[in-house]
Amino acid sequence: MSHEWLLTELYESYESSAYQADFETLRNSYAKLNEIELVDTLPTIKQVVELNETIANLSYRLSAYSNLQLSTNTTHEPSLTALAKLSKLVSENAKISAKINRFLGNIKTDISQDEHLSQYSFYFEELHQVASHLLSDEVEEVISTMNLSAGDAWNQLHSFLTSTVEGTFDDKTVTLSDIRNLAYSDDADVRKRAYETELEMYQTVKEPVAFAINNIKSQFNDIARLRGYDSAIDITLDASRMSKATLDALMGAIEDALPAFRRYLKHKASLLGHQNGLPFYDLFAPIGKTASRKFTVEESRDYLVDIFSKFSPDLAELTQEIYDKQYVDMFPRKGKVGGAFCMNLPFLKQSRILMNFDGTLRNVVTMAHELGHAYHGLHIEDHLVLNRSYTMPVAETASTFNENIVMNTAIAQSNNEEKIALIESSLQDTTQIIVDIYSRYLFESALFEQRKEKFLFSKDLEALMLDAQEKAYGDGLDPEVKHPYMWLCKGHYYYPHLSFYNFPYAFGGLFSKGLYALYMQEPDGFVEKYQEMLRATTVSTVEETAKKMGVDVTTKEFWATALAEYEKEIDAFIELTSEV
């Protein structure tokens, strides 16, 4: 079994007739769109929508091919060239795209008269909202064109620097992905030295990366102001199809629950012999005898297929397919980006998953997480082309629900000694999506505000991050051993068109935890409702999607109930480890 993904079903190469034909079709579709006389009639609207469908489908397919190539080789010149050419084509047509969106967002024609268009009712509602914040066609064109050498370029710089920076550990050359994976080592000395090496590796890249994050956030602030938004978070909430009431309820419930997580962290610190809170390098320290188990790729596949088959056959079948058909790129290597992600390819009815697999249970859970994204893609792939986009908060629901399935199954099958390792592993992940995500939310909020007034050098960004960690982790972390460079290693901060990609993880984690509790209480009929909810994510607001499961996310009550489930795990962990 090869452990590098196959992309030939997208295209054989950039020189292939299929790639060249799709690029020309995309170019011609833009040209046809530009020639249409925009009158508010049903035939014109249908013609515009059909061309928009072609443009959306082909631009996504072409960019996916390049971005997937670059994720495993950030210096791949043909992909950089092709992506630049595609980006140039898109930016050159930004003016007509803005004009079309403005036209569709302001139509008065009753689209319910047409069977095809009537399926786009939510799409048209969103366009109406977007149109209210659009600038003139000329300004939209300038923004899109300038972004190629602004936000997009700064994002590429961050990816390049963090994927190519090298360090030395035990006389071996290591990448950031290599060294960060050692945070999960069962050797305390390795964890501490890896942490120190990681911080040292940032020294040569921290200032240029600081320039990247400053300019990306400044650009986002400027565009928010020009479009008439009060703040950057308002753009994100609109794009998330989420109300401020829901965000406030979520963050308020998390803040209320922080003492329980600090109790867990301090208890873990005491188990590891620390007296002043947990050092950052021991956040992921394994505890318990099963924590050191290593999986081969094939063992991870069989493990996940078996567990998922008990929830839903289509999830198990999807898992088997992704492993067996080389839809996953497994192992770290120089030039490959860190972390993990899943990219849905609905035009192929497939997905691709990138991993940096090290064989630990934690990595198997990460694979389950990414398979959740693929499962989400499975249940929206039959939507019309312009109805396939889901937003950030619900993007993490299926992924974290999968984590719940795997961890709860493993815990249920274990004895008390094994439970210690499994519950603690689960709490590691939970602490990341609740406490660390809260710190990232605080950091990014402060960064956006301060960037309005000044440039922040690395030392300023480090201070912001340490302050955010203090507010989130409190006395759960050793105040002398935090991580001042978490702003540097997390790629989410560097997306020029997307900010605050932090609270969606908390939303997804808590939402899925609450849903899993519902599943355990009443499994009959749950899977069908769950699949219906996933399908609704692309054509509903966050609040409407939650109602499919009978849940109100605009109040703290639901979130507090989900957080209480995590507190039960904390109590169980402390009780089990206090008995040992």
pLDDT level of residue 410 (50, 70, 90 thresholds): confident
pLDDT band for position 275 (50/70/90)?
very high
Q: Which CATH architecture has domain 17-148?
A: Up-down Bundle (1.20)
pLDDT computed for residue 579 by the predictor: 66
Give the pLDDT mean for 459-488.
98
- Integer Cα distance of 160 and 73 in angstroms: 10
Is 261 in contact with 253 (CB distance < 8 Å)?
A: no
Q: How far is CA 382 from CA 189, 374, 386, in A?
A: 51, 14, 11
CB 236 within 8 Å of CB 220:
no
What is the mean predicted confidence (pLDDT) over 333-355?
94
Separation between Cα atoms, residue 372 and residue 354, nearest integer Å = 13
CA distance 290 to 285: 13
Please state the domain extents for the chain: 17-148, 166-204
pLDDT at 558: 92
Give me 373's structure tokens: 């994204």
DSSP state, 502?
A: S
Where residue 61 falls among pLDDT bands split at 50, 70, 90?
very high
Q: Which of the pair, 138 or 4, is modelled with greater confidence? A: 4
Give the Cα separation of 20 and 26 in Å (integer). 10
Instruction: List, in order, residues 6 or more apart from 458 with CB less than 8 Å away.
Output: 206, 207, 209, 210
pLDDT of residue 139: 87
pLDDT band at 290 (very low <50, low <70, confident <90, very high): low
Q: Are strands 166-169 and 172-175 parallel, antiparallel or unpaired?
A: antiparallel
Arithmetic mean of pLDDT, 78-101:
92
Average pLDDT, the chain: 94
Q: How far is CA 271 from CA 11, 169, 549, 579, in A?
A: 53, 27, 40, 12
The pTM score is 0.81
pLDDT at residue 247 in the model: 97
Q: Nearest to residue 379, comparing CAs of 566, 529, 250, 159?
A: 529
For residues 124-136, give the mean pLDDT: 89
Tens-digit pLDDT profile for residues 484-516: 999 999 999 999 998 998 998 899 889 999 999
Q: Look at 328-332, 430-434, 504-508 and tell me which has the smallest mean pLDDT.
A: 504-508
CA 376 to chain centre: 13
